[in-house]
Amino acid sequence: MLFGYLSLHQIEEAMKNLFHNFQILLLATFLITSCTFNGNDGAPGPRGPQGPPGQDGEEFVAIAYEFPPVSFNENNDYGVTLLYDEVDLPFIFESDKALAFLLSGVDDRGYDIWSPLPQTRFNEVGTYVYNYDFTLVDVFVYLDADFRKGLFIPEETDDKIFRVIIIPARATQRSAEPVDYDNYYAVMEHYGLKESNVKKLQNKPQ
């Protein structure tokens, strides 16, 4: 007999140990089974809502401005600063290019004539030039001459209207088609700008 040579006390202790070990084994088996048994998949849930639209890819968008009429005189030393729209400043970089054009009249078809700067002209006393410099925030247009500037007539100095087109450098570098940057309408068409895209600013020249 298995317990023939054991006392009653020893048999009771052996039975307690056996029962305790059996409980541990049963608990371990339950835990292993719980971790490894996946059961059958339930029915698929409803489809979630559509996420927000993603952002468009990088676009090379030019900006066109028209500024209020300016006049050149001794008070401003024949130079005027034209400020860009503040909302556009975060998108203008040092590598970008600014093109300036002067409204010179209307052609026989009724289209405005926009002459590129620098624009050289002649009068009875000499040669004069409408010219410009540009920065990240503005364009400085000025009138220079090889004669005394006090000899200008009002037609040459007063109420001049300028347009400026800012072209991202990335667009000029990646453009496969050549464009005549002296031709206002060619530039507008090349960069996908229409008359309705021209921002007509009201800020006063400085």
Q: Look at residue 37 and tell me if it is in a domain.
A: no
Nearest partner of 179 among 62, 65, 89, 58, judged by Cα: 62
Task: Give percent above pLDDT 70 in the chain.
Answer: 67
Residue 70 has pLDDT above 80, yes or no: yes
Residue 202 has pLDDT above 80, yes or no: yes
| Residue ranges of E strands in the chain | 63-66, 79-83, 97-106, 112-116, 119-123, 126-134, 138-145, 162-167, 199-200
pLDDT digit string (tens) for 30-64?
555 554 445 555 556 566 555 444 444 445 589 99
Q: What tokens appear for 150 in the block? A: 């006090």
| Spatial CB neighbours of 50, under 8 Å, sequence gap ≥ 6 | none
Q: How far apart are CA 200 and CA 66, in angstroms?
A: 5
What average pLDDT does the chain have? Answer: 82
pLDDT digit string (tens) for 182-194?
999 999 999 999 9
Distance of CA 156 to the CA centre of its chain: 38
Q: Look at residue 12 and tell me if it is in a domain.
A: no
Q: How far apart are CA 196 and CA 152, in angstroms?
A: 35
Q: Look at residue 125 and tell me if it is in a domain.
A: yes
Residue 2 has pLDDT above 50, yes or no: no
What pLDDT was estimated at residue 178?
A: 84
Task: Evaluate if pTM is beyond 0.85.
Answer: no
Q: Look at residue 131 and tell me if it is in a domain.
A: yes
Q: Look at residue 5 and tell me if it is in a domain.
A: no
Count how many domains the chain has: 1
Residue 200 has pLDDT above 70, yes or no: yes
Domain with 152 in it: 63-200
Rounded mean pLDDT, 95-113: 96
Q: How far apart are CA 23 and CA 29, in angstroms?
A: 10
Q: Look at residue 161 and tell me if it is in a domain.
A: yes
Other Cβ atoms less than 10 A from the Cβ of 163: the count is 21
Q: Look at residue 18 and tell me if it is in a domain.
A: no
Q: How far apart are CA 31 and CA 123, in angstroms?
A: 101
pLDDT digit string (tens) for 126-181?
999 999 999 999 999 999 999 999 999 999 999 999 999 999 987 655 556 789 99
CA 98 vs CA 26, 54, 94, 113, 117: distances in Å: 82, 31, 10, 19, 11
Q: Look at residue 153 and tell me if it is in a domain.
A: yes
